[in-house]
Structure 1
Amino acid sequence: MRAVRVLSALGTTLLALGLAAGPVAADSSPSPSASDGSDTSAPTQAGTSFRTATELQQGQQATASGSTGDYLYWSFPADTGQRPTVKATVKLPQTHGAETWQLDVFDGLRRRQSCQYGASSRAAEQGTNSVELACVMRTVRGWAEPWANDPLPGTYYVRLTVVDMGAADLGQPVNAEIQVDSKDIGGPSAVDGSLGKPLVPGIAVKSEAQGDDSKTAVLSSFGSRDGWSSGWWSDRWVWTGIGAVLAALAGIGGYALTRGHGRPPTV
């Protein structure tokens, strides 16, 4: 019975340490968020191409005005262990025909990323006031094979446009709202290996610190203040270690309970 009490106390202690280690492991992997950027208000316009995409931090709700037929582009950062969710709402004019709007997400290499679930393409019937789109991406991985299309840490682009409409609706004014949030998945999706550099491509804009005569393209300003978290560490190492210790204690406890007490009587 004493061995059982000792094992129970050790198991309770290790479980408490594991629960406390979860937030610590999460804090050791900084990820970009709305607070990592600037204190300025959310964007009120969208770009018209990949190179002019408007930067959007996670948690911000951006708005933009455009015309039916325009391509609206935004870009946002996503780090290892995050599962981004992109939501967009298009407010349509009072009179319009049947239209189909589509939301596409591309990574830093401009590869289209598939959605786990969500209506990334939706039709708006005649007279509909608005249409809502959503795309829940796959979890961003720290490393992948060169031939794979897995999402990697870096910049992601959002493209919103109409893909099917009548000729009479071309050029009508529309308003769009977009927001990007993410859920930290952590250890369950962690992989061994790390990405050398995040997929943050250069953009053809001038830095505020540079003069007007500079023509050097600068990197996007995305990323957390402490850097990108791609690396070998994840919270799954904590739970793996706790599981190994518990297995060893269970083996010791089983041996202590099943072994004989004292020497057998001699005949």
Structure 2
Amino acid sequence: MRITRALSVAALALGLAAAPAAADSTPSASPTGEAAAPTKAGTSFRTATEIAQGQTATADGSAGDYLYWSFPADAGLRPTVRATVKLPEAHAAETWQVDVYDGLRRRQACRYGAQTRTAAQDASSVELSCTLRTVRAWSEPWAYDPLPGTYYVRLTAVGLPTSDRGLPIGAELRVDAREIGGAAAVDGSLAEPLVPGVALAGRDQQEESEESEEDTPSAVLSAVEPEDGWASGWWSDRWVWTAVGGALAALAGVGGYALTRGSGRPGRVPPGA
């Protein structure tokens, strides 16, 4: 009876502790209904168009252009970038490529996905994808691990034939992320996410006021960030499972004591003793 009761309490504790972990396993993405999806792309890192996870951005351009977008990625997420290039009716064989860079403009390797694809002659479109490694809350300075902050996406044609340069194209880009959780947790975090400057404000101020000759351009940080803010690795479901393990260990100790201590009743005296 006592063993059954102990097991029931352990199952209840396990269910209550695992509920927050299950709720947090769904990746947070900014709702697309609050803001319209971007309809243009930047032409450099500085002018990259900011998009939120879960949004489908579109842009029109010309073959040979460099198209740039930026998005936020926090610790514990595994982002996946998907791009579709709509090609003109008549064109030669073209090779398109999507590259992803972190906030330090280091090119990040794709864990899997078709990062480079060649569209056959007169093909209507080509689809690309790149799934990054899991974003870590902290890493060694010499490592190229993905870290929390702004990520840049560059879409362009590689080895474009001269006859196709300048032809109109359309692009669609979407970024989704999967929550990995405590499996990717590390003991450490960045002081600040890698969110570099994307514009220069001092130049405009200098044009308005020529009195100050010492006015120098200052970096303006990007406004793109996760919906719930930067976690920077302070929380993971590893805390939940650590608490569950401690609770189960305590219940196992109580159950073992109940089994080994005996009934506590005095021994039966044999007849005729």
TM above 0.5, one fold? yes
Residue aligning to 1:242: 244
Q: CA contact under 8 A between 1:192 and 1:232: conserved in structure 2?
A: no
Identical positions, percent: 59
Question: Structure 1: which 5+ residue stretches go unaligned?
Answer: none
Identify if the C-alpha distance between structure 1 residues 147 and 246 changes in structure 2 by more than 3 Å, giving closer, same or farther: same
Q: The residue matched to 1:232 in structure 2 has which SS?
A: coil
Native 8 Å contact 1:32 1:78 kept in 2: no
1:38-117 equivalences in 2 (<5 Å): 39-117=34-112
Match of 2:4 in 1: 5
Any conservation in 2 of the 1:61–1:179 contact (CA below 8 Å)?
yes
Question: Which ranges in structure 2 are unaligned for 5 or more consecutive residues?
Answer: 210-216
Separation (CA, whole Å) in 2 of partners of 1:63 and 1:212: 34
* 1:154-201 CA-partner distances (Å, limit 9, x unpaired): 000000001123221111111101011112222221111111010000
Q: Distance in 2 between the 1:194 and 1:43 partners?
A: 32
Deviation of the 1:265 alpha carbon: 8.7
| Residues 211, 18 of structure 1: alpha-carbon distance in 2 compared, 3 angstrom cutoff | farther
Contact 2:30–2:227 at 8 Å: present in 1 too?
no
Instruction: Establish whether residue 220 from structure 1 lines up as the match of residue 216 from structure 2.
Output: no
Paired residues of 1:32 and 1:223 also in contact (CA < 8 A) = no
Which residue in the other structure is 1:160 paired with? 155
Q: 1 CA distance for matches of 2:47 and 2:28?
A: 21
2:18 and 2:240 in contact (8 A); partners too: no
What is the letter of the counterpart of residue 6 of structure 2? Answer: L
Q: Quick check: which has more Rg, 1 or 2?
A: 2
Kept after mapping to 1: 8 A contact 2:72/2:226: no
Distance, in Å, in 2 between the alignment partners of 1:25 and 1:172 is: 45
How many equivalent pairs are there?
260
Report the CA distance between 1:88 and its aligned residue: 0.4
TM-score scaled by length of structure 2: 0.85
* Distance in 1 (alpha carbons) for counterparts of 2:238 and 2:268: 50
Where does residue 30 of structure 2 map in the other structure? 34
CA RMSD of aligned residues (A): 2.8
For residue 133 of structure 1, give the secondary structure of its aligned residue in structure 2.
strand
Displacement after TM superposition at 1:42 (Å)? 1.2
